[in-house]
Amino acid sequence: MSTSPTLPAEGRAGSSKSGSSGSLQRGKACLNCRRRKMKCDGIRPTCGPCSHAGRAEDCEYADAQGRSRTQTLLDTIKRLETRIQELENPESTAPNVLLFDPHSTAQLQASPGHSPTGPSSPAESSRGGPPTTIWDAEDLPPEIAFELIEIFFQNVGHVPWFLHEERFRASAALPPGNFDRPVPALLTAVHLWGIKFADSDDLSLHAPGILAQALSQIGHALAGAPSHSVVQVIQAHVLLSTYLYHVGRFVEGSVHTDAAAALAVHCHLHKLRSAQPTPPRATYMDPICVVLPEPRDQIEEGERINAFWVSFAQDRVWAVVLGVPTAIFDVDGVTQIDTPWPLEMEVYERGWLHPELRTSGTLKAFLNGLTTGWPWENDSTLTRLAKGSALLERATRLAASWRPDLPDATGFYNDFLALDARIEEFKTSLSPISTLSTMPVPDRQRLHATHCIAQCASIQLHAAFSGQNSGSRTKCLEAGLAIIRTAAAARVTEFSFLDHGVAAMWAAVCRVLINEIITVRSLYVDPTAVQMPGREAELFAALDELQAAMAHFAPTSALMNYQLGRIQQERIAV
């Protein structure tokens, strides 16, 4: 991306005039004009067509070796990562000075480095260095782009997706520059996930370049984009955050999770079909609001409803996994969540939303045990996921507020009991795990994640008291064993991808089992304790089973690999 100032108007006009006497030498046009099939005047740092189109940041030229600045930067980053690894591990790296044949054309491959924001994915590291040619969103051969979209939608049930599939496919087939074509960042994110699901070594070589392009595009995705594209930008943020979590770039992933949540709230997607009137302005400050146009139909309205709840669920789960505050609040007034619970896209397609339906305090009502909204809302997989995520975050936050010297211990105890009952009630409302084996893989994966989240909510709520209270210790153990049974019933090893922070939840279950093993062993030296023959062996068997499942995903998931490494270290204690 160019940071140099553009030529003034008179200077540019003179340069264009002098350049019009002859055609530009082949290969001297900027890369953006080449992709757009436009005549370039070759002016640097920003050519005339890019300047007139308002795309100065996209104007870049290849160097003498035919590489763009993006490719050069990627090569530089790779060299710096390699150097960091050499400095951190001097005993395990090759010497800095290597002799080579000056007549050889072979290039040395840089060894994979460690991301400063999280553990790198084993699968990504094993791919080697970047390919000679790095595709970007507009360089993808049409047949490759089409195939990647096909692969993506064959596996779309594994990732958080809320847009209407047929409409997206139709708009993606439109030519570049068309008003209704998806924003480039979303298309690139879909291509990136298509490469991930294709599981092809040849295609995977291009994943770093595609990811770099998507991250560049998302930075200015809203600039000049039509208002109806905002929901597409939210979808792009969700896909990118999920991918970044998967490859171990947790801080970057959280940035995009926060961006999706903030954008959803800024566009008032938390106030869709609100029964509460807009409060009058109480100050002299006139807030700057983003007002989306009225949805064209119920499908578009459904996309907005589901966009909010996907952003909400991701915000809640990853706030717990990363130990950070949530980006979406739910208090009285402008931040109260009034949007009704999401439905399956088929419901929106049938036009079943009553025009006069209005809701208020959707999340508050659920947490307080009240049933509101549509009678069929509980059949939505996204609704169950969003509700489970809300309970997980609420349990984590309530447990963290406990202190022995708490002024209102009675109030805390009442809130604790009410939330515990609400979690148990939610668990019983989920489809039994015995039905998992009959479901398609995507449905199995979503229900498996929801069961994990619900059981983990119990663990989070009771963990702080499990050392002193036998009832809380039992609750944690029962929830942990239920998660292991759910994984077995769902046949998780058939999944190509695990989302929703499941890796962190499995690690929490391992810690529950390790602590229980230590507790059981302590009973051996207590003559007054009730002995439990074979109990320790059962706990070890459960721990082995879950660690085996974690080991299955560790080679392709940086998050799972990281959590498994931590558990292996902690298991040494037993």
d(CA 305, CA 313): 13
* Mean pLDDT on 143-169: 94
Which has more confidence, 418 or 30?
418
Residue 342 in contact with residue 309, Cβ under 8 Å?
A: yes
| pLDDT for the residue 102 | 39
* Mean pLDDT on 166-195: 94
* Mean pLDDT on 467-477: 94
Which has more confidence, 248 or 121?
248
Q: Model's pTM, two decimal places?
A: 0.77
For tokens 């074979």, name the residue: 534
| Residue 315: pLDDT over 80 | yes
| Residue 264: pLDDT over 80 | yes
Kindly state the greatest CA–CA separation across the chain: 101
| pLDDT for the residue 109 | 36
Give 422's pLDDT tier (boundaries 50, 70, 90): very high
| pLDDT for the residue 285 | 83
| pLDDT for the residue 139 | 65
Average pLDDT of the chain is 83
For tokens 């302005």, name the residue: 281
- pLDDT, one tens digit per residue, over 102-142 is 344 333 333 333 444 555 555 554 444 444 444 554 567 88
- pLDDT, one tens digit per residue, over 66-99 is 455 566 666 666 766 676 666 666 555 444 433 3
| pLDDT for the residue 117 | 54
| Residue 573: pLDDT over 90 | no
Point out the least confidently predicted range of 8-22, 254-268, 505-519, 540-554: 8-22
| Residue 417: pLDDT over 90 | yes
R_g over Cα of the chain: 27
- Write out the two tokens for 548: 């085996």
| pLDDT for the residue 38 | 81
Residue 418 in contact with residue 366, Cβ under 8 Å?
A: no
| pLDDT for the residue 65 | 45
| pLDDT for the residue 7 | 35
The answer, yes or no, to whether the previous bond of 45 is cis (omega within 30 of 0) is yes
| Residue 574: pLDDT over 60 | yes
Point out the least confidently predicted range of 11-20, 286-295, 495-504: 11-20
| pLDDT for the residue 328 | 96
| Cβ atoms < 10 Å from Cβ of 407 | 8
| Residue 336: pLDDT over 90 | yes
Provide the residue count of the chain.
Answer: 574
**Closest to 129 measured CA to CA, from 162, 153, 152, 107:** 107
d(CA 414, CA 200): 54
| Cβ atoms < 10 Å from Cβ of 375 | 7
Residue 450 in contact with residue 385, Cβ under 8 Å?
A: yes
**Closest to 446 measured CA to CA, from 407, 521, 502:** 502
- pLDDT, one tens digit per residue, over 423-438 is 999 999 998 998 888 8
Non-local CB neighbours of 196 within 8 Å, separated by 6+ positions: 207, 243, 246, 497
| pLDDT for the residue 324 | 95
| Residue 6: pLDDT over 70 | no
- pLDDT, one tens digit per residue, over 16-74 is 344 444 567 666 788 888 877 788 888 888 888 888 877 787 888 775 444 555 666 66
